[in-house]
Amino acid sequence: MSSLNDSTSNLTQKQNPLVVDRDVKTVFSVTPCVIFLYVNGVMLFTLKKKAFQDSSRYILFGHMLWLDTLNLLMSVVMFVIAVSRIYLMKVVCVFLLVAATVFYQVSILNLALMSLERYVAICFPLRHADFTTFRRTHVGIGVVWMISLIKPMSELTVFYAFDSTNTQVNLFCSKTTFFRLPIYKKLDVAFACIYFMSVCFIVIFTYASIAIVAKSASSDKISAKKANKTVLLHLIQLGLGAASILVGVIQEAAFIYTDYFTAMSIMYICFVVFQITPRCLSPLIYGLRDQAFSSLFKYYFTFGLKRQNSCHTETHLVSGH
């Protein structure tokens, strides 16, 4: 009886550090997400100003903010489910995985739209108002959403028509445990190559085109250089998005070849580096670089304590750069 109590005590002592480590990591990962969800919320509230609602640049920026907010929420939900080892109903897991995939795909393709908008603004300034109307901007966003639905719909078709590996009603929800047939990995690779190569081509093309305009003596060099830095930021975002594809592979290898504690540590690092950081910082950097937007954002973020120069803001809104 004494030996049984000793073994139970040793097991409890071994488990306690794991529980404490898990709780600490959860707090330190969820807390910045909550803070930046507030930041994104203030940014979205700022974009509700009428002066921002008719500009294609700010419409696409608002779209990016919504996507980053939804991606952040989905990342936190999936992370908490993973570290807590919560088992979900199959239909709930399908919904979460499909939603996460769609939001992620749309956020990548939205970078191409934002780069093209800057390309038209700098390379065809006289036609910019005609090419980037309110209606055409929303049509472009709709097309991006339709393209992004192709991959998850393909996975769902395979899952319900051919996949007989998942028969449990409740299961641990992750792509590596849910989509286990080889065809899912082939779909992942195929769509990743198509999406990232297409977006990468568009971003690099727009970056090179704007760089050429920036060197021209007859153009507005300041606006062109600012636009080029914006497109370069999109390229960095695309790189982080591409790197996040490896997260699933890294986590799967970690759970197979390492112990649980090491696997959870690797999962936490990947979550912070590839999921939280890009989605927290990129909207903030992008928004604060715009003088017209940042003036109003700082005003609302500080609950009106920081005064904003409305005339200066309106001037920048009219100029559109």
Q: What is the pLDDT of residue 21?
A: 63
- Number of domains the chain contains: 1
Is 2 within a domain? no
Is 127 within a domain? yes
According to DSSP, the β-strands at 87-89 and 170-172 are antiparallel
First to last CA, the chain: 77
Is 15 within a domain? no
Q: What is the pLDDT of residue 190?
A: 86
Model confidence pLDDT, tens digit, residues 82-120: 777 778 788 888 888 889 889 988 988 998 898 898 888
Is 153 within a domain? yes
Is 319 within a domain? no
Is 12 within a domain? no
Are 43 and 279 in contact, with CB atoms under 8 Å apart? no
Closest CA to 279 of 104, 114, 68, 31: 68
CATH number at residue 138: 1.20.1070.10
**134: containing domain:** 24-314
Length of the chain counted residue by residue: 321
With a CB cutoff of 8 Å and minimum separation 6, the contacts of 67 are 103, 106, 107, 110
Are 138 and 56 in contact, with CB atoms under 8 Å apart? no
Average pLDDT for runs of 10 along the chain of length 321: 45 52 70 82 84 84 89 82 78 86 89 88 86 91 94 87 67 74 83 86 87 69 73 78 67 73 76 75 76 83 64 46 44
With a CB cutoff of 8 Å and minimum separation 6, the contacts of 263 are 251, 254, 255
Is 88 within a domain? yes
26 class by beta-carbon count within 10 Å (0-12 exposed, 13-18 middle, 19+ buried)? middle
Are 242 and 38 in contact, with CB atoms under 8 Å apart? no
199 class by beta-carbon count within 10 Å (0-12 exposed, 13-18 middle, 19+ buried)? buried
With a CB cutoff of 8 Å and minimum separation 6, the contacts of 195 are 105, 108, 109
Q: What is the pLDDT of residue 97?
A: 86
CA–CA gap between residue 73 and residue 289 (Å, rounded): 25
